[in-house]
Amino acid sequence: MTEILALRAFDDNYIWLLRSAGYAAVVDPGDAAPVLAHLEQSGDRLCAVLATHHHPDHVGGLAEILGRFPVPVFGPRLENIAGVSHPLEGGERIELPQLALELEVISVPGHTRGHIAYYGPSLGDSGALFCGDTLFGAGCGRLFEGTPTQMLDSLSRLAVLPAPTLVYCAHEYTQSNMRFALAVEPDNIAIQKRSEDVARERAANRATIPTRIQLELETNPFLRWDAPGVRAAAASRLGHQPADAVETFTAIREWKNRF
Ligand code: ZN
Ligand code: FE
């Protein structure tokens, strides 16, 4: 059984560490220090690094980690990340033999142009997704390099994963995202309840991640482009009914950028 640990980095990043039988792999090591500290304390041997996209808060620790442990590094082919030995574009299956783990690679451009996600159907009680800065708790990444259509397609690929799938995103943004979700759909009972749950967890300094696809489908405005409440919110921003999902998504994303 693979255990998944959160290593905290910077203000609100999570570096996810997968460990089993004395081996470990890390996802998005923006900082080497917490990774090296874990390896030192636990005695785990590092066997791989997985990167979702090129931003420094996700790959800034790579050089130092590789200087100590020259392990395979998986990452997006479309992005220029020093140290990536196994470039990926989505659609591949990768094996981490030391962890007896197979992961599926999903192309999720939008936040960046080559962003990828890793999905492990056999992880945890019902599968786990490592999605970097694409899908957040009640939110999605900013569109730095991609179009709204690309991001909508990317989020659609994640939305169809099995509903109980655990979602391990790279930031603890859920509480501020919930404030926005409530502004979009003030009458949504699931959003009201999640806001209370998240506030309680954060007040106790506990993580709100992982979340699950099911909870995101119920409460994340960026997966709810077909929900009447989200369409209505988009219509009031636009001054007319949105023609399609892209127009709804674009209006909600632009509102969030200025929220
Ligand atoms: Zn990023
Ligand atoms: Fe980030």
**CA 181 vs CA 11, 136, 160, 224: distances in Å:** 22, 12, 21, 10
Instruction: Judge whether residue 52 has pLDDT over 90.
Output: yes
Confidence tier at 179 by pLDDT (50, 70, 90): very high
Q: Are 178 and 136 in contact (CB under 8 A)?
A: no
Structure confidence by residue, pLDDT tens digits, 92-109: 999 999 999 999 999 999
Q: At a CB cut-off of 8 Å and minimum separation 6, what does 135 contact?
A: 129, 141, 155, 158, 167, 169, 216, 220, 222, 223
Cα of 40 from ligand 2 centre, angstroms: 25
Q: Are 109 and 146 in contact (CB under 8 A)?
A: yes
What pLDDT, on a 0 to 100 scale, did the predictor assign at position 14?
98
What pLDDT, on a 0 to 100 scale, did the predictor assign at position 108?
99
Question: What Rg value do the Cα atoms of the chain yield, rounded?
Answer: 18
- Reported pTM: 0.98
Q: Are 29 and 35 in contact (CB under 8 A)?
A: yes
Cα of 142 from ligand 2 centre, angstroms: 10
Q: Is the dihedral of CA 84, 87, 90, 96 positive or negative?
A: negative
Q: Which two tokens stand for residue 217?
A: 């489908």
Which of 134, 142, 98, 95 minimizes the C-alpha distance to 115? 134
Looking only at the bridges linking them, the beta strands covering 73-76 and 86-88 are parallel
What's the number of CA atoms in the CB half-sphere (13 Å) around residue 246? 7
Cα of 153 from ligand 2 centre, angstroms: 20
Cα of 54 from ligand 2 centre, angstroms: 9
Q: Which two tokens stand for residue 74?
A: 């998986």
CA triple 44-46-49, angle to 5 deg? 140
Task: For residue 101, list its beta bridge partners.
Answer: 96
Give the ligand at the shortest distance from the Cα of 113: 1
Q: What mean pLDDT comes out for the span 218-224?
A: 98
Type of residue numbered 111: H
Cα of 159 from ligand 1 centre, angstroms: 20
Instruction: Judge whether residue 1 has pLDDT over 90.
Output: no
What pLDDT, on a 0 to 100 scale, did the predictor assign at position 158?
98
